[in-house]
Amino acid sequence: MKKVLSFDIDQTLNIAKTPIPDEIADLLIKCLDHFEICPISGQKFDQFLVQIVNRLVDRGALPQQLTHLHLFVAQGTQYYRYENNDWKQIYSYPLTDEQVQKISEALEQSARELGFWEEDKLQPGDEIIENRLSQVTFSALGQKAGTEEKYAWDPDCKKREQIVARAKKLAPEFDYEIGGTTSINAITPGMNKVFGMTHLLEELGVDKQDILYFGDMTQPGGNDYPVVQMGIDTITVRNHEDTAYALRGILGVI
C-alpha cells in the first residue's frame, strides 16, 4: 500500500496554468484522508495556492486534511506545509543573481537566433523569462497567454528542443527541461524533480516504494522523467481526466 501520492500539476491535475477542476479537487480531498498528497511542479508558491489549495478549500477541505498536503514548489527546491492554520516554508534553495542572469541571457539569445522570441505577442506587463528563485522559466508566449494559443505554439516540443540545444551550448553548466505547453525550466544540475523527490523522502520519512507519482511528461527529456529514473512507481497520464480515472480506481479499493 502506497503512503504518498505525488503529482505533477500542469496537464496532470489541470489544464495547464488553470485551477484544478471540481472533480480533481473532490478526489484529492478524499485522498487526503488516506495518503500524504505531494504536488511537485515548476510553478511558484502563489500558483500552488491559486491552482490547488484555494480550490480544495472552496470544495470543503478542512484544516486537518490540509496538514496532509505538502507543496513542493519550483520542482521541490522549496517546500511548504500547513502548520497552525498557515502555510510555512520549511526549506528553500534559490539560485544566485549571477546564475539567474546567465541563464536568462542564454535563453533569450537562443530564442532570438532561432526566431522564437515572441516579444510582440506578449500581453502588457507580461514577460517571457521569469525568475522563480530556484529556477528560471522561459514561457514562449508569457504567463498570461490564452490556453489555446499556448497549445498551438509547440505541440510536438520541436521549437523548445531547438532552444534547449542552443542554450545548452551557450550556458552548458545548467540543465534545461521542457514542461507545460510553452515552457522551458532552467536549473542547476540536480535541482530537478530528483532533488524535490529526494527531499520529499527525507521530510516525510518514507521510502521510494511508498510513493506513487503521476505525470504527463515522463518521456526522456520531459520534466517528469527524472522521477521515473529514480525508480519511483509512475503513472503516465495524458491529462487530468486520466488522473481522475486512476484516482477513482485507487479510492475505490481502499
Contact 43/161 with Cβ under 8 angstroms? no
**Is the CB of 57 or the CB of 157 nearer to Mg ion?**
157
What is the smallest separation between the CB atom of 65 and Mg ion, expressed in angstroms? 24
**Is the CB of 10 or the CB of 108 nearer to Mg ion?**
10
**Is the CB of 51 or the CB of 65 nearer to Mg ion?**
51
What is the smallest separation between the CB atom of 61 and Mg ion, expressed in angstroms? 23
Q: Looking at residue 93, what DSSP letter applies?
A: -
Contact 247/25 with Cβ under 8 angstroms? no
By CB atoms closer than 10 A (0-12, 13-18, 19+), residue 13 is buried
By CB atoms closer than 10 A (0-12, 13-18, 19+), residue 92 is middle
**Is the CB of 11 or the CB of 65 nearer to Mg ion?**
11
Among 8, 26, 108, 177, binds Mg ion (CB under 5 A): 8
For residue 10, state whether it binds Mg ion (rule: CB under 5 A).
yes
Contacts (CB under 5 A) with Mg ion, residues 190-219: 216
Contacts (CB under 5 A) with Mg ion, residues 89-108: none
What is the smallest separation between the CB atom of 49 and Mg ion, expressed in angstroms? 18
Per-residue cell: 201: 523522502
**Is the CB of 80 or the CB of 213 nearer to Mg ion?**
213
What is the smallest separation between the CB atom of 172 and Mg ion, expressed in angstroms? 25
What is the smallest separation between the CB atom of 224 and Mg ion, expressed in angstroms? 7
Binding-residue total with Mg ion (CB under 5 A): 4
Dihedral sign for Cα atoms in the order 31, 33, 34, 35? positive
CA distances 80 to 10, 43, 70, 102, 121, Å, are 19, 13, 6, 28, 34
| Alpha helix segments (H runs only) across 33-119 | 45-48, 54-58, 63-66, 97-114
For residue 11, state whether it binds Mg ion (rule: CB under 5 A).
yes
Could you list the residues that contact Mg ion (CB under 5 A)? Answer: 8, 10-11, 216
